[in-house]
Amino acid sequence: MFGMGRGPRVRRGDVRAAILVLLDEEPRNGYQLMQELERRSQGAWRPSSGSVYPTLSLLEDEGLVTASKDESNRVYRLTERGKSYVAKHKDELGTPWEVEAPGPGLDARWELANLMREIGPALGQVLKFGTPEQVAEARRIMQEARRALYRILAQDEPEDA
Protein backbone atom coordinates (compact mmCIF):
# COMPACT_ATOMS: atom_id res chain seq x y z
CA MET A 1 0.00 0.00 0.00
CA PHE A 2 2.09 2.87 -1.27
CA GLY A 3 5.32 1.89 0.46
CA MET A 4 3.69 -0.04 3.26
CA GLY A 5 3.47 -3.49 1.69
CA ARG A 6 0.20 -5.27 1.12
CA GLY A 7 -0.92 -5.04 4.71
CA PRO A 8 -0.74 -7.27 7.73
CA ARG A 9 0.10 -10.90 7.20
CA VAL A 10 -2.90 -13.13 7.62
CA ARG A 11 -2.25 -16.48 9.25
CA ARG A 12 -2.91 -19.65 7.29
CA GLY A 13 -6.49 -20.68 8.01
CA ASP A 14 -7.74 -17.17 8.76
CA VAL A 15 -9.56 -16.94 5.42
CA ARG A 16 -11.22 -20.27 6.14
CA ALA A 17 -12.19 -19.25 9.68
CA ALA A 18 -13.46 -15.85 8.56
CA ILE A 19 -15.63 -17.35 5.82
CA LEU A 20 -17.14 -19.88 8.23
CA VAL A 21 -17.91 -17.21 10.83
CA LEU A 22 -19.46 -14.84 8.28
CA LEU A 23 -21.56 -17.56 6.67
CA ASP A 24 -22.79 -18.53 10.13
CA GLU A 25 -24.34 -15.05 10.29
CA GLU A 26 -26.01 -15.18 6.87
CA PRO A 27 -25.58 -16.53 3.32
CA ARG A 28 -23.29 -14.40 1.15
CA ASN A 29 -21.66 -14.43 -2.25
CA GLY A 30 -17.88 -14.34 -2.63
CA TYR A 31 -17.75 -10.62 -3.31
CA GLN A 32 -19.84 -9.89 -0.20
CA LEU A 33 -17.46 -12.00 1.87
CA MET A 34 -14.45 -10.03 0.61
CA GLN A 35 -16.18 -6.69 1.20
CA GLU A 36 -17.32 -7.64 4.70
CA LEU A 37 -13.85 -8.81 5.71
CA GLU A 38 -12.36 -5.55 4.49
CA ARG A 39 -15.05 -3.58 6.33
CA ARG A 40 -14.64 -5.45 9.61
CA SER A 41 -10.86 -5.14 9.52
CA GLN A 42 -11.26 -1.41 8.78
CA GLY A 43 -9.43 -1.84 5.50
CA ALA A 44 -6.41 -3.61 6.99
CA TRP A 45 -7.31 -6.95 5.39
CA ARG A 46 -8.42 -7.11 1.77
CA PRO A 47 -8.69 -10.79 0.92
CA SER A 48 -8.30 -11.50 -2.77
CA SER A 49 -10.59 -13.59 -4.92
CA GLY A 50 -7.57 -15.86 -5.31
CA SER A 51 -7.80 -16.77 -1.63
CA VAL A 52 -11.57 -16.58 -1.06
CA TYR A 53 -12.90 -18.68 -3.96
CA PRO A 54 -10.48 -21.60 -3.57
CA THR A 55 -11.31 -21.65 0.14
CA LEU A 56 -15.03 -21.72 -0.65
CA SER A 57 -14.43 -24.66 -3.01
CA LEU A 58 -12.49 -26.48 -0.32
CA LEU A 59 -15.27 -25.86 2.21
CA GLU A 60 -17.76 -27.24 -0.31
CA ASP A 61 -15.59 -30.33 -0.76
CA GLU A 62 -15.52 -30.75 3.03
CA GLY A 63 -19.32 -30.58 3.12
CA LEU A 64 -19.34 -27.48 5.35
CA VAL A 65 -20.65 -25.07 2.71
CA THR A 66 -23.09 -25.33 -0.16
CA ALA A 67 -23.61 -22.92 -3.05
CA SER A 68 -26.75 -22.05 -4.95
CA LYS A 69 -27.33 -19.74 -7.91
CA ASP A 70 -29.16 -16.54 -6.93
CA GLU A 71 -29.79 -14.27 -9.92
CA SER A 72 -26.27 -13.90 -11.33
CA ASN A 73 -24.25 -14.83 -8.22
CA ARG A 74 -23.37 -18.01 -6.40
CA VAL A 75 -24.59 -17.63 -2.85
CA TYR A 76 -22.80 -19.68 -0.21
CA ARG A 77 -24.37 -20.92 3.01
CA LEU A 78 -23.37 -23.30 5.75
CA THR A 79 -24.69 -26.84 5.57
CA GLU A 80 -26.00 -28.48 8.75
CA ARG A 81 -22.56 -30.03 9.11
CA GLY A 82 -21.02 -26.56 8.68
CA LYS A 83 -23.30 -25.04 11.33
CA SER A 84 -22.39 -27.83 13.72
CA TYR A 85 -18.68 -27.33 13.00
CA VAL A 86 -18.88 -23.57 13.63
CA ALA A 87 -20.84 -24.06 16.87
CA LYS A 88 -18.30 -26.62 18.10
CA HIS A 89 -15.25 -24.52 17.15
CA LYS A 90 -16.60 -20.99 17.87
CA ASP A 91 -13.77 -20.03 20.24
CA GLU A 92 -11.11 -21.50 17.97
CA LEU A 93 -12.47 -19.66 14.90
CA GLY A 94 -12.63 -16.36 16.79
CA THR A 95 -12.79 -13.11 14.82
CA PRO A 96 -9.94 -13.43 12.31
CA TRP A 97 -10.61 -10.03 10.73
CA GLU A 98 -9.34 -8.35 13.89
CA VAL A 99 -5.83 -8.07 12.50
CA GLU A 100 -3.27 -5.69 13.89
CA ALA A 101 -1.46 -3.18 11.76
CA PRO A 102 2.20 -4.18 11.28
CA GLY A 103 3.70 -1.93 13.92
CA PRO A 104 2.82 0.88 16.29
CA GLY A 105 1.48 4.22 15.10
CA LEU A 106 0.39 3.14 11.64
CA ASP A 107 -3.34 3.83 11.99
CA ALA A 108 -3.01 7.17 10.20
CA ARG A 109 -0.94 5.54 7.46
CA TRP A 110 -3.54 2.82 6.91
CA GLU A 111 -6.24 5.47 6.83
CA LEU A 112 -4.29 7.50 4.29
CA ALA A 113 -3.66 4.43 2.12
CA ASN A 114 -7.38 3.61 2.19
CA LEU A 115 -8.18 7.19 1.20
CA MET A 116 -5.74 6.90 -1.71
CA ARG A 117 -7.60 3.80 -2.93
CA GLU A 118 -10.86 5.76 -2.77
CA ILE A 119 -9.51 8.73 -4.73
CA GLY A 120 -8.57 6.67 -7.79
CA PRO A 121 -12.14 5.62 -8.65
CA ALA A 122 -13.45 9.14 -7.97
CA LEU A 123 -10.87 10.60 -10.35
CA GLY A 124 -11.78 7.94 -12.89
CA GLN A 125 -15.41 9.04 -12.76
CA VAL A 126 -14.44 12.67 -13.35
CA LEU A 127 -12.28 11.66 -16.32
CA LYS A 128 -15.01 9.50 -17.80
CA PHE A 129 -18.09 11.65 -17.19
CA GLY A 130 -16.83 15.14 -16.36
CA THR A 131 -17.16 18.18 -18.56
CA PRO A 132 -13.92 19.78 -19.80
CA GLU A 133 -14.27 22.35 -17.01
CA GLN A 134 -14.69 19.63 -14.37
CA VAL A 135 -11.67 17.73 -15.70
CA ALA A 136 -9.61 20.95 -15.57
CA GLU A 137 -10.76 21.56 -11.97
CA ALA A 138 -9.85 17.98 -11.00
CA ARG A 139 -6.42 18.46 -12.57
CA ARG A 140 -5.91 21.67 -10.58
CA ILE A 141 -6.95 19.91 -7.35
CA MET A 142 -4.61 16.97 -7.99
CA GLN A 143 -1.68 19.28 -8.79
CA GLU A 144 -2.31 21.29 -5.63
CA ALA A 145 -2.62 18.12 -3.55
CA ARG A 146 0.73 16.87 -4.90
CA ARG A 147 2.40 20.20 -4.09
CA ALA A 148 0.84 20.27 -0.61
CA LEU A 149 2.10 16.77 0.14
CA TYR A 150 5.64 17.70 -0.86
CA ARG A 151 5.38 20.86 1.27
CA ILE A 152 4.61 18.63 4.27
CA LEU A 153 7.84 16.71 3.68
CA ALA A 154 9.83 19.92 3.16
CA GLN A 155 8.84 21.39 6.52
CA ASP A 156 11.52 21.53 9.19
CA GLU A 157 11.10 19.35 12.23
CA PRO A 158 9.69 21.38 15.14
CA GLU A 159 12.32 22.37 17.70
CA ASP A 160 11.84 21.39 21.33
CA ALA A 161 11.03 24.48 23.37
| Same domain flag for 87 and 124 | no
| Same domain flag for 74 and 130 | no
For residue 102, the model assigns a pLDDT of: 52
**Residues 96 and 14 sit within 8 Å (Cβ to Cβ):** yes
Question: What is the C-alpha to C-alpha distance for residues 74 and 65, in angstroms, rounded to an integer?
Answer: 12
For residue 96, the model assigns a pLDDT of: 83
- pLDDT averaged per 10 residues, the chain (length 161): 46 81 95 90 83 94 94 92 95 78 59 84 94 96 92 68 43
| Same domain flag for 34 and 88 | yes
- Domains in the chain: how many in total? 2
Question: What is the C-alpha to C-alpha distance for residues 18 and 31, in angstroms, rounded to an integer?
Answer: 14
| Same domain flag for 38 and 81 | yes
| Same domain flag for 81 and 119 | no
For residue 5, the model assigns a pLDDT of: 45
CATH of the domain at 75: 1.10.10.10
Domain that holds residue 129: 107-154
For residue 95, the model assigns a pLDDT of: 84
Chosen domain end from 71, 93, 115:
93
Question: What is the C-alpha to C-alpha distance for residues 103 and 8, in angstroms, rounded to an integer?
Answer: 9
| Same domain flag for 63 and 130 | no
For residue 107, the model assigns a pLDDT of: 66
